Structure 1
């Protein structure tokens, strides 16, 4: 079997355990914050947003540094750093006694995060370009599979064993991810001296369509914002909708997981469809569906209605990130692909920073339902920008061909 195919299988397993581990925790962080002594609706919304955002704020700051080091020493080293570091920091979160300690550890976790983006970058540097859509779609199913199982498993453990046990088991799963990476992933590292690396403007000057690449960065940020803006308030919103508070963690975990089921079904098919009819078309259609679904979610009256809409949302989400990554590979040169993915990773983290802050702030000021409306509006603005960028590119190509 070809080396790049072996790496895809190995990285898929690593992404699966990483997705499983992370999704066990995120849906229940608001309940953990409440358990640590935060009670009022406004304080709970704001603290949940800060706890969610802290990790990604630090990650956004340090991501270019890790990207530069990855170009010099290889992506595998970054995968090992992320998986082992997260295992240690997540384990420590099980023993906090105040929300300030949790916030500090969540910020520290930002120094250790980045397994999935670095896995994507490793695959991007090795997979044949005509297979990019398929490869990224397949790889995304690894994390999605973990995200499906994680909230259900985490919810069950939270209800029956307690929230602190979830952190310890999550740390164990990240250790498994570390071992898989150490043993199975093989990388042929092309050494690049620091003095020979392109930086800043030189990277964009090497791109044939720098404005489109920048717009795709913003799209990545918006994809992450749509997910993370809902995360801090999802459990609290379900609590408001539900009359059954005894199984709240399990219900929240199930609703958090359902988009992953449909994304898992859709991603490989949509990846192949994009390779056949054009990735940009698939991306624009998925963004349009996402806007409509968020608007409808603002009107739900029961957890079941919310769960159905989130299941439908998964079909759109299964196309989004693989499509963006495929377009980044298509419109960047081999010389700067690694750096482009590094910048894209920073925008991904910025979306994870902005999303919880936007969601928790709007929730505290206007209520839960307005979070869905505001998220739809932001995605609509980005969709219009992306459409304009792709249209300009098409016009420019037509003029060149004449």
Structure 2
């Protein structure tokens, strides 16, 4: 088996587990905060928001740092650092004595993340251009699958084994990821850039600044779009459903529908990007995703919502692989880790921004406006991508 294929398998498992570690806390966080002695409902909500959002904000700050370290010391050391660090930190959350210790550990979790950045950089730099789209598309499904299954896994462990075991079991899985990475990931790393650079100096040597900015903004917008519905989907399903006894199940199915479609379509659209060009796939995917958001505002029952969410997943599956392919295409290998680090920062900020946007728009304007505003964001981004990426790269081909 070729080295990049073996590394892809190991990285997929590690990214899947680390994504579970980032997302599994969502359903159990309010319960755990209550378990730690906070009884006031308003305070539980406040601390839950801080503890959940803080990890993504800190991750956005530190992703470029670890991307730089990956370019300097190699990608495998960053994989080992992140997987072992997250195993220890998430496992330690089970021993937290109060909510402040929990928030502190969540902040530390944000500091030590970087597994996804190192994995993406490793696969992008090892894979030949002919297979890059398929490989990066397959790799992207690990984050999607982990984010999709994480809340369900966390909820199942909490109900079956107790709150603290959510953290212990996730820590154990990350420890397995550390061991498999240590044993099976191969990297022949030669540092191409011997000089340390500041962010300004790095930016000065990025060859395609305009394209890079467009790609970073696109990744931010698409993560905002994908996560804008997350805070309000349960409320929306409640409004649509006549049988309120199964709201949680129906909401989970509606949320999972897009993730399932994404997992099915991402490797295939990544492979298509290899054949026709990532700039074509990303443009069509942005337009289709933007249009599919509109009818979600007019559905009459949860099943219609699920069907449209599934179609959205098929469309959006072409976005993340195409972003990663374009980053690989326009960035020298010596800077790949740093640029992927900036890209992951944009994604983490998009997750946080999307969750905030969805909640605020729903509370002030109504739930249906979340879909309209998200659609407008994606379609505006599609126009920008057409002029800044599609036309330029097509002329160069």
TM-score range relative to shorter protein:
0.7 to 0.9
SS at match of 1:232: coil
User: Which whole-Å deviations, capped at 9, do the CAs of 1:13-38 have from their partners, x for residues lacking one?
Assistant: 22232334444333565676788546
SS at match of 2:331: coil
SS at match of 2:85: helix
The structure-2 alpha-carbon separation of the partners of 1:396 and 1:265, relative to structure 1 and needing over 3 Å to count, comes to closer
Which range moved further: 133-142 or 93-102?
93-102
Which range moved further: 91-100 or 345-354?
91-100
Contact 1:37-1:98 within 8 A present in 2 as well: no
Contact 1:283-1:324 within 8 A present in 2 as well: yes
Tell me the CA shift for residue 391 of structure 1. Answer: 4.8
| Structure 2 equivalent of residue 294 of structure 1 | 293
Query: Which whole-Å CA distance do the structure 1 matches of 2:313 and 2:73 have between them?
Result: 36
Contact 1:152-1:250 within 8 A present in 2 as well: no
Contact 2:265-2:317 within 8 A present in 1 as well: yes
Tell me the CA shift for residue 270 of structure 1. Answer: 1.0
For the pair 1:25 / 2:4, whether they are aligned, the reply is no
Tell me the CA shift for residue 11 of structure 1. Answer: 1.1
Query: Which whole-Å CA distance do the structure 2 matches of 1:139 and 1:347 have between them?
Result: 18
Which range moved further: 256-265 or 54-63?
256-265
The structure-2 alpha-carbon separation of the partners of 1:48 and 1:158, relative to structure 1 and needing over 3 Å to count, comes to same
Unaligned runs of 5+ in 1: none
Matches within 5 A, 1:1-400: 1-26=1-26, 29=29, 37=39, 39=41, 49-94=49-94, 102-158=102-158, 164-191=164-191, 196-242=195-241, 249-394=248-393, 397=396
Query: Which whole-Å CA distance do the structure 2 matches of 1:241 and 1:30 have between them?
Result: 26
User: Which whole-Å deviations, capped at 9, do the CAs of 1:231-283 have from their partners, x for residues lacking one?
Assistant: 33334444554566666555444333222221121112111211112211111
Tell me the CA shift for residue 217 of structure 1. Answer: 0.8
Contact 1:151-1:257 within 8 A present in 2 as well: no
The structure-2 alpha-carbon separation of the partners of 1:100 and 1:261, relative to structure 1 and needing over 3 Å to count, comes to same
Unaligned runs of 5+ in 2: none
Q: Paired residues, what number?
A: 395
C-alpha RMSD over aligned residues = 3.1
Tell me the CA shift for residue 323 of structure 1. Answer: 0.5
Which range moved further: 327-336 or 47-56?
47-56
Query: Which whole-Å CA distance do the structure 1 matches of 2:178 and 2:373 have between them?
Result: 38
Query: Which whole-Å CA distance do the structure 2 matches of 1:68 and 1:372 have between them?
Result: 37
Tell me the CA shift for residue 379 of structure 1. Answer: 2.1
Contact 1:286-1:316 within 8 A present in 2 as well: yes
Contact 1:32-1:163 within 8 A present in 2 as well: yes
